[in-house]
Structure formats: C-alpha cells, structure tokens
C-alpha cells in the first residue's frame, strides 16, 4: 500500500479504465502482453462499483488523411489499425468488462488523453466526481496522458499499479517512479487490494 494517502475513496470517486480493448490484447495488432495478467484485477475493481466506472475506448480514424499534423504521419505508419482496414471487433472492450455496460459508461476518444474528450469532462462534472481510480493500458502512453489530464483538471488520482499495463517493462517502471517522485501532492499509487478494501459502499 502507498505510504501516502491523498484522501478517501468515496461514493463520488470514479473508476476510469483506459482502453482495455481487444485492440491491445494478445489478439490485437497493438498487443500489450501484460493485459491478460491485469484484466482480472481491472474487472474486480470495475465490478465493485460498475455504476461508478467509465471505460474509454481508443478509436482510430477511418483513414490517416482525417487526422491533423503528426497524427496523420502516425497513422500512415500504422495504416493497418485505421478503421478502413481494422476488424471493428478489435475496438470493443474486453468481454469481462463489456458485460458491465450498463451501468458502466463508455467514452470514445481519438487521442491519448481521455481528457481531450469534452464528453468525459462533462460526465465527471455531472457526477460531481471527487477523485479518480485509474486503471488500463498503457502505463506510459494513454494512462500517462489521462493521468496528467486529470491532474490538470484538479482531480485527485489513484493509479492502481497492478491494474495498469504496458508493452515495455522499463517504461512502466519508469513512469511509476515518476508518479511517485514528481506528483506526490496529486497522484497516489495503490494496489488492487487497497482499492477493494478502502472504497466506500
């Protein structure tokens, strides 16, 4: 358990689960090898309070030409994951998580940060969220961007270290070190067992 406690997990705390989709599973083109390992932990957190859970999905463009600037170049490199070529089933949540919708909600995004999507910001405001429990993939890309977006919006963030995953062990470990050492007033690091024990009914 973290030696810092930024605050309680309350009835207003929201579980924000980032991009746990088939796209990043072992069957997908952007396979994240750890996903199989963390999926049961993510599912346990989501199942504790599905009505307080928001899943994001990363949705690539139909074709690279739809995207601005360097994103266009990015998808020219990864044309096989544009929607004109990708199996649409790859965009769906992992089945254990999809089964929780509803009452869990889904927010689709085209960018790394979920906070680039006004619909997420509005949803959290409507729910009067007082903090976020953050899980998902990848620790060093979309989870990173979303965590920093949450900090910028003033949310207390609890990153669940055994319920986030990356395709790079070194980058995963480096980012957890950054979170611990550089964001001590805004980001807490917890484990799944801590969340399940501490989250109020």
For position 125, which CATH number holds?
Answer: 3.40.50.850
The range of the structural domain enclosing residue 180 comes to 13-59+89-198
- Cβ atoms of 196 and 48 closer than 8 Å: yes
Residue 29 lies in a domain: yes
Strand 187-190 relative to strand 105-109, pairing: unpaired
Q: Is residue 182 part of a domain?
A: yes
For 156, which DSSP code?
E
The confidence score (pLDDT) of residue 6 equals: 52
Angle at 141 between CA 99 and CA 149, to 5 degrees: 85
* CB neighbourhood size of 11 (10 A): 12
pLDDT at residue 109, as a whole number: 97
Residue 23 lies in a domain: yes
**What is the tally of structural domains in the chain?**
1
Query: Other CB atoms closer than 10 Å to residue 33's CB: what's the count?
Result: 14
On whether residue 137 sits in a domain, the answer given is yes
Flag whether 54 is in a domain: yes
Q: Is residue 27 part of a domain?
A: yes
What does the radius of gyration of the chain's CA atoms come to, in whole angstroms? Answer: 16
| Helix or strand run (H / E) with residue 117 | none
Residue 7: what pLDDT?
Answer: 63
Kindly give the pairing relationship between strand 187-190 and strand 131-137. Answer: unpaired
Per-residue pLDDT of the chain (201 residues; tens, 9 = 90+): 344 445 689 999 999 999 999 999 999 999 998 999 999 999 999 999 999 999 999 999 999 999 999 999 999 999 999 999 999 999 999 999 999 999 999 999 999 999 999 999 999 999 999 999 999 999 999 999 999 999 999 999 999 999 999 988 899 999 999 999 999 899 999 999 999 998 876
Is position 68 within any domain? no
Give the pLDDT of residue 3: 41
Is 4 a domain residue? no
Query: pTM (2 decimals)?
Result: 0.94
């Amino acid at each position: 358990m973290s030696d810092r406690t930024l605050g309680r997990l309350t009835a207003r705390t929201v579980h924000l689960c980032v991009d746990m989709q088939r796209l990043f599973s072992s069957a997908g083109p952007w396979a994240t090898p750890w996903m199989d390992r963390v999926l049961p932990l993510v599912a346990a957190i989501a199942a504790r309070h599905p009505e307080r859970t928001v899943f994001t999905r990363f949705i690539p463009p139909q074709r690279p030409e739809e995207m601005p600037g360097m994103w266009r170049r990015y998808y020219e490199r990864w044309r096989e994951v544009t929607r004109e070529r990708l199996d649409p089933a790859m965009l769906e949540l992992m089945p254990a998580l999809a089964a929780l919708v509803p009452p869990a909600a889904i927010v689709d995004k085209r960018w790394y940060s979920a906070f680039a999507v006004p619909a997420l910001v509005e949803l959290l405001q409507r729910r009067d969220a007082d903090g976020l429990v953050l899980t998902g993939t990848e620790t060093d890309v979309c989870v990173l961007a979303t965590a920093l977006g949450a900090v910028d919006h003033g949310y207390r963030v609890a990153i669940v270290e055994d319920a986030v995953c990356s395709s790079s062990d070194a980058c995963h470990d480096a980012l957890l070190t950054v979170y611990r050492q550089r964001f001590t007033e805004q980001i807490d690091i917890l484990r799944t067992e801590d969340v399940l024990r501490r989250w109020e009914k």
